A = this chain, B = another copy of it.
Amino acid sequence: MSTRITSLFGIRYPIIQGGMIWCSGWRLAAAVSHAGGLGLIGAGSMYPGVLREHLRKLKAATDKPFGVNVPLLYPQTDELMQIILEEKVPIVFTSAGNPAKYTPLLQDHGIRVAHVVPSAKLAVKCEKAGVDAVVAEGFEAGGHNGREETTTMTLLPMVRDLISTPLIAAGGIASGRAMLAAFALGAEGVQIGSLFAASEESSAHPAFKQRIVEAGEGDTMLSLKELVPVRLLRNTFYVKVKEMEARAASKEELQDLLGHGRAKKGMFEGDMDEGELEIGQVSAQISAVRPVVEIMQWLVNDFQKAKEGLISDI
C-alpha cells in the first residue's frame, strides 16, 4: 500500500483521518498517526490557544507524522497559521478557501500542504497554487461541501484526468472496499471522517457517537445550502431548517436559527435535538464505536480482502 501519498507524508498506510470540528483533537490524531495513518487536528473549532495546547499534547504523545486541518473561513486563520509555524507542524490540510493564500508561506517553512476541494475546477486551481496533494471530496461527505453536488464516484475520475498532483479521495469511504474503489478511480490515498468521528478516541460527545452508530440510510441530508452547504443528521434542529427552507425563508432567518455554537452544542456537548450534527452519508454503514487501532487494522484487512476478491473475480 505504498503510494505517492505514503511517501509524501512519510506514513505507512495511505489513510488520512479527516480534520473535523469538535471530533478530532490531539487524542484522535495521535491514535491514527500511531496506527500508521495520518492524524489531523481539526482546527476549525479551536481558538488559537486551544490549537497550541492540542499540538503540544499531540507532539508529546507521538513521534509519527501528523497534521492540522484549517478551514480558511474563520477570522482567526492568520493566528492559527502562526501557531502552526511556531509549533513546527509538518503537514497542513486547508479547506473552504483559496489554496493560493497560505500554500507558499507554509511550504517556505518546509510544510507539506494539501487542499480539500469539491470540484475538478478547484482541483486545477490547487495544482496551480502548487499544493503537494489535493483532496477531492464528494457530495456524500459530512462537513462543508460544494454547490455542484458532485459525488465521489463522478468527481474522482474528472479530477484525475485534469491534474497530476497526488490525489486523495474523500466522501463515502468507511471500508476497505470503498478505499479500493477510490484507488480504482485514480486516488492514491483516502481521507476518512465519519468512521473516526465515531471512534473511541474522537472528542465527540458519546451521545453523538451513538447517533452515528444508529444512523440509517437517508438519515443525513445536504442542508443549509443558502448559507454554507453542510451534511446534517436528521433531528429537531434539522426539521426546523427544512421547515424554513420549505417556506422559502430568507438567509437572515436561517442564519438567526443557526445562531452561534450549534455544532458545539450537538457534536461536543451532546444535545441531540437542538445541536447541529455534521456527519457523512456513510454513517449508515458504521455499526460500533471502536478504538482507532481496531478501525485501522480492519480497514487494512478489508482492503486486502477486497483487492484479492476483485482480482480473482474478474
Distance of A111 Cα from B306 Cα, bound (Å) = 33
Tell me how far the C-beta of A140 lies from the nearest C-beta in chain B, rounded to whole angstroms: 4
Across the interface, A285 reaches (CB within 8 A) one of B147, B158, B181, B183, namely B158
Q: Is A173 an interface residue (CB 8 A)?
A: yes
Q: Is A313 an interface residue (CB 8 A)?
A: yes
Q: Is A221 an interface residue (CB 8 A)?
A: yes
What size tier do the contact residues of chain A reach?
Answer: 35 or more
Q: Are B151 and A138 in contact (CB under 8 A)?
A: yes
Q: Are B310 and A184 in contact (CB under 8 A)?
A: yes
Contacts of A99 in B (CB 8 A): none
Q: Are A149 and B222 in contact (CB under 8 A)?
A: yes
Contacts of A185 in B (CB 8 A): 177-178, 181
Q: How many copies does the complex hold?
A: 2
Q: What residue of chain B has the Cβ atom nearest to residue A245's Cβ?
A: B248
Interface residues of A in 146-180 (CB under 8 A from B): 146-154, 157-158, 160, 171-173, 175, 177-178, 180
Distance of A313 Cα from B5 Cα, bound (Å) = 12
Q: Is A314 an interface residue (CB 8 A)?
A: yes
Q: Are A218 and B119 in contact (CB under 8 A)?
A: yes
Q: Is A247 an interface residue (CB 8 A)?
A: yes
Contacts of A183 in B (CB 8 A): 184, 310, 313-314
Across the interface, A171 reaches (CB within 8 A) one of B153, B180, B184, B281, namely B153
Q: Mark A28-59, 1 if CB is under 8 A from B, else 0.
A: 00000000000000000000000000000000
Across the interface, A248 reaches (CB within 8 A) one of B160, B172, B248, B307, namely B248
Q: Mark A217-245, 1 if CB is under 8 A from B, else 0.
A: 11001100000000000000000000000
Question: Residues of A at under 8 Å CB distance from B?
Answer: 1, 3, 119-121, 138-140, 146-154, 157-158, 160, 171-173, 175, 177-178, 180-186, 188, 217-218, 221-222, 246-248, 281-282, 284-285, 306-307, 310-311, 313-314
4 tightest A-B CB contacts, nearest first: A148-B218, A153-B172, A181-B181, A180-B184
Question: 16 A–B contact pairs at CB < 8 A?
Answer: A120-B217, A121-B217, A138-B151, A140-B151, A140-B153, A149-B221, A150-B218, A150-B284, A151-B171, A154-B285, A158-B217, A177-B184, A177-B186, A183-B310, A184-B306, A188-B313
